[in-house]
A and B are shown apart, each in its own frame.
Chain A
Amino acid sequence: MQTDTKILAHEFEYLTPNTLNEALDMLDRYQDKNAKILAGGTDLLVKMKTINLKPDYIINIKNIQEINFITYNDDGLKIGAVTSLSQVEKSKEVKAKYSALYEAIKSMAAIAVRNMGTIAGNLCNASPAADTAPPLIAYGAEVKLANKRGERAVPVEEFLTGPGKTVISSNELLTQLNIPVLDENTGSSFLKIGRVKADIAKINIAVYLERKNNVCKSCKIVFGSVAKTPIRVKGAEDILRGQQLTSDVLTKVAEKASEEIKPITDIRSTAEYRHEIAKVMVEKAVNLAWERAGD
């Protein structure tokens, strides 16, 4: 493998649609022609430089204003595909209501990268360690996928199918994220352990739970970087659901969660460490979400 990360020696056709329709037309036209979508470029350009990804067409969707927004109303939180991570991070609603998402974005890379990168890109890149995926799965978020002929909604949980793999078709564009309004008495949290502050996660976790009469009414616990995709530990969720948050329950939740994950040893950490640390993180993240849920 020969690389030169200072340059992009590979030649490609660079397309810059200004409207969504234009973009979908292009995707339709080039769907079989090795085209890649560029939103923030923080993953795409890196891959072109480091693993010799050689697209023939690059469709830069950054100029499409229709998909550059972040809104919040009774319908929930809606985020356009080219809205930068920094824009989401700065949203008052996100900070106030969607703690896990806010914390996930805060934990990502450095400011310069967050200014360029997008949540949509983070999802489409489909890294098992993607930081925004666990909170989005925990919240039950959906992505909107559009092509020339129409659109469909897919839960984030089903969107990601493996490392670098999603259900998106080559003529489809992820245009928007929908995150439901959160119920009363709910709380969420996100935790991440990396080698250093600005890093890809060794392991990350998001918890979203509903607390009523001091009992956990419902919950979702989602880990990243411990399996081929971000995963829910449903057995651990079952243990927590309907229970008061005692240290005994928490220990059982932690043990179960650690059993359910399937981490590997890679350059960032070991499977053994991930199993161990998963327990600590579940306890801490559940506690945090529990406190935030109030009562």
Chain B
Amino acid sequence: MENKQFIAISKRFDIKNVGKVTGKEIYASDVNIPGMMHAVVLRSPYPHAEIKSIDLTEAEKTGAICISRDDVPDLIYNERIVSIPDKTYKDRTVLPKDKVRHTGEAVAAVAADTEETAFKALEKIKVEYKKLPAVFDIDEAMKPDTSQLYSYVYLGDKKIDIENNIACVRNISVSDIDKGFEEADVIVEETFNVQRIYHMQLETKSTVCVPEADGGITIWTTTQGIHNVRILLGEIFNIPLHKINVKRITLGGSFGSSIQMNSITPICVALALKAKSPVKLVMPREDDIYDHASYPLRTKIKIGAKKDGTLTAGHCKVWVEIGAHNIQAYPYLGCIAGWFASLYKWINIKYEGKAVYTNKTPTCARRGYGSPQINFPVENAMDILAEKLGMDPIELRLKNYVGKGDEFWGQGPTIKSIIRSCGVEEMLVEGSKLIGWDKRIPPSEKTGDIRRGIGVARGFHTSGTGGPNPGEVIDYSGATVKINEDGSVDVVTALMDHGGGTWDVAAKVAAEVLKVPFDKVGIYNGVDTRTTVFDVNTHATRGVYCGCGAVKLAAEKVKKILLNYAATLFKDLPENLELVCNEELGQAVVYPKGLPEKYKTVGEIAKTAQIKSWGTIAYTSSLRQKNCPPCFITYFTEVEVNTKTGQIKIPRVIMMGDSGTIMNPELWKGQIIGAFSQGIGLGYIEEIPYDTNTGKLKCNGFITDFKVLTTTEMPKIDDIKVLPAHTYEPTGPFGAKGIGEAALSAVASSFGNAVYNAVGIRFYDLPITPEKMLKALKEKEEKKDKKE
């Protein structure tokens, strides 16, 4: 571990995004352009129907601008272009051309002077549908005689047939699975279900589009990556990229739901182009809920171990019900294989994955990209195995975890790297002491109406999708770092900040390299696809490791230029100079080694460079990281089950995170605590069921009936402990890895294991609602009575 004195990193600073806490921050929905029109979207009332006709006449008579299938390009695309083109499935157009495939699918859109007048015009649009049989269940969908959503889609440029609604398949094998199970003394085989839920990001998807005089467009939109939006809009509308400018604007939450270009973005563009006027389109919450959901997962897991707890085999069969569009379930299936393979040393692995279309809201990535979904079956199965072996669950994990020196699958089977920093053991050992693991008793010894239990689960996420070899995922970032004429620094990057403080880290990294005080580094909006170089997307927990890695590279180059200029001034060589932070002066200073009193401030050097016309001290980097180090997490969760009501409380939790060097300690903790709340929501109450008669969500798209947990349901602040592992990632900027998605991966699993420890009931389907709990408790009682 590198022991270093930092000037900005690991320290607590006021955040750069001051607007967020003062209410002054501008989000896409706040952007107002003179003459701007407001748009609304007409959505399908049916889950599956042929569009016979769309009549816009009456709506257009009101003076509104309307678009439907004839007004949008024919191009079939995938809204998520993070994977390489050859591995990208394409099944959609801007608006559906022939039929609607889920309730709430956009069919037409209207722009008018106000949202109210647009909405009134919208009510005059007449759509004639021919209802088709709809399918909501994954097994039903795969039957040969079931109604088909698609007859064909495209994989890259290749047309491929779709049969039995199977969107894509992914099978992976390592070594010999049969041999692995032959060697096993104990086998656990179970089926688990993790439900689809809604992301419930604060900001609903929004876009503002200005059609420019030269035929170009300017866009403000909710996105995790401005460059991919630009590239995709260029393809769809056949506009050269230099004429498309996507502005970076603060994201009001996403949780993965804006990795892809949002469905309303090209709709807004089409409206603006037709209207020849700026158009704003902000989704109401109900449209947003009908727009995207997280991928669910059904897992049939089979694992084997020798008597001493050494694992011998792991076999996973997974099915994902993706809804009406394939927003890249193929890499999702790959990633699940990777998360599975990288949790424990199964030695022999077999993985079979299937993604299946249904007439539900399309699913997409949500924090963890399948990791919470596969972690739940694996970490539950590990506890079941430990019990069968008569072994402590922590001991079993310590014996088999994938750690330092092992191979990590950062993004499915094609992006792998060697683990160089790992706090798994420290977290399991220290965490168990803090929770009092040795005092944990089996459920059979518990009595009373209120029963407590402790559960452990561990997980991780990749930090980015880089690796020594190129794979199926595009991964590089860029940044421009510039020393201004007074010695202050600008960091210009397309990197997005989800709220975890990624921009703060970018500023800290530049400050650290250039020895400039943190408050002299600026990172602001106002940059866009024209002024920044490509950054693939802020996803895959890559903001710090990859995005800020690029900032570090640029800052190091800038440092070289700076020292060259300084050498000219000192009439010395750059290598004979020292760059340090002078806190008294509030400036970085340069001096000849050994002669600190002879310093010149960076401000003086930059000013001289300007006056003497030497040029700007700036550099633009582009960086692909060569690794994808896992950031690890471990939760020790205590639950309290009320056996009379089935309600579950969380009295206490120990959260241990391994992010290497922690850049923003407070925000790091915040990310973990937030993820815990989200994860308990997944474990305990969140779900978005459908009325299969109507094809509508039972909540009708309203959050009145889609509940998420709030601070009220969290443990008291004194009962939450968040602690870091003491690690240093040698390939990361200043030793750092990520945290964002890792934090969610194991929460619901630790919850499930804790519930088992409390009441002795294993739940295989999430969420574990009070209704399910009470029913299960009753069934257990009845079984017990029968035995007696």
Residues of A within 8 A of B (CB): 1-9, 46, 50, 193, 195-200, 267-270, 272-273, 276-277, 280
Contact = CB atoms under 8 A, between A and B. Distances in A.
Contacts of B287: 4
B116 A9 contact: yes
Given A4-B287, A197-B713, 10 more contacts: A4-B119, A6-B282, A46-B704, A196-B709, A196-B713, A198-B712, A273-B770, A276-B778, A277-B646, A280-B645
Residue in A2, A198, A273 whose Cβ sees the most chain B Cβ within 10 Å: A2
B771 A198 contact: no
Contacts of A270: 771
A269 B119 CA distance: 34
12 contacts: A1-B45, A4-B40, A4-B284, A5-B284, A50-B704, A193-B770, A196-B708, A196-B712, A197-B710, A197-B713, A272-B775, A277-B774
Contacts of A2: 42-43, 45, 122-123
Nearest to B685: A195
A196 B685 contact: yes
Contacts, number: 74
B771 A269 contact: yes
A86 to B, nearest CB: 18
A136 B43 CA distance: 43
Contacts of B286: 3, 5
Contacts of B699: 267
A267 B704 CA distance: 10
A195 B707 contact: yes
Interface in B198-238: none
B120 interface: yes
A1 B284 CA distance: 14
A267 B698 contact: yes
Contacts of A6: 115, 282, 284
A9 B120 contact: yes
B771 A273 contact: yes
B183 interface: no
A9 B119 contact: yes
B401 interface: no
B387 interface: no
A196 to B, nearest CB: 5
Contacts of A199: 707
A195 B685 CA distance: 7
Name, among A4, A46, A268, the residue most crowded by chain B CB atoms within 10 Å (CB to CB): A4
A276 B282 CA distance: 44
B290 to A, nearest CB: 11
Interface of B: 40, 42-43, 45, 115-116, 119-120, 122-123, 282, 284-287, 644-647, 685, 689, 698-702, 704-705, 707-710, 712-713, 770-771, 774-775, 778
Q: Which 10 A-B pairs rank lowest in CB-CB distance, beginning with the nearest? A: A9-B119, A197-B712, A273-B771, A9-B116, A195-B707, A280-B644, A6-B284, A5-B284, A267-B698, A267-B705
A224 to B, nearest CB: 16
Given A2-B122, A4-B119, A5-B285, A268 B770 contact: no
Contacts of B704: 46, 50, 200
A236 to B, nearest CB: 18
A4 B115 contact: yes
Contacts of A4: 40, 115, 119, 284, 287
Contacts of B710: 196-198
A198 B282 CA distance: 27
Contacts of B646: 273, 277
B550 to A, nearest CB: 38
Contacts of A3: 284, 286, 701
A5 B702 contact: yes
A18 to B, nearest CB: 28
Contacts of B115: 4, 6-7, 9
B702 A50 contact: yes
B118 to A, nearest CB: 8
A50 B705 CA distance: 12
Contacts of A268: 705
B645 A193 contact: yes
A193 B778 CA distance: 19
Contacts of B120: 9
A278 to B, nearest CB: 11
A273 B778 CA distance: 11
A277 B712 CA distance: 22
A191 to B, nearest CB: 10
Contacts of B770: 193, 273
Nearest to B642: A280
A53 to B, nearest CB: 14
Given A1-B45, A4-B115, A273 B774 contact: yes
A60 B318 CA distance: 56
Nearest to B706: A267
A270 B771 CA distance: 7
Contacts of B122: 2
B719 to A, nearest CB: 17
Most chain B CB inside 10 Å of its own CB: which residue of A268, A272, A273:
A273
Contacts of B771: 269-270, 272-273
Given A2-B43, A195-B685, A273-B771, A7 B116 contact: yes
Contacts of A196: 685, 707-710, 712-713
A1 B119 CA distance: 13
B285 to A, nearest CB: 6
Contacts of B707: 195-196, 199
B246 to A, nearest CB: 24
A1 B705 CA distance: 17
Contacts of B705: 267-268
B126 to A, nearest CB: 13
B409 to A, nearest CB: 37
A267 B284 CA distance: 22
B702 A277 contact: no
Contacts of A9: 115-116, 119-120
Contacts of A8: 116
A276 B123 CA distance: 45
A267 B45 CA distance: 20
A57 to B, nearest CB: 19
A142 to B, nearest CB: 31
A46 B647 CA distance: 29
A193 B647 contact: yes
A6 B115 CA distance: 9
A145 B698 CA distance: 36
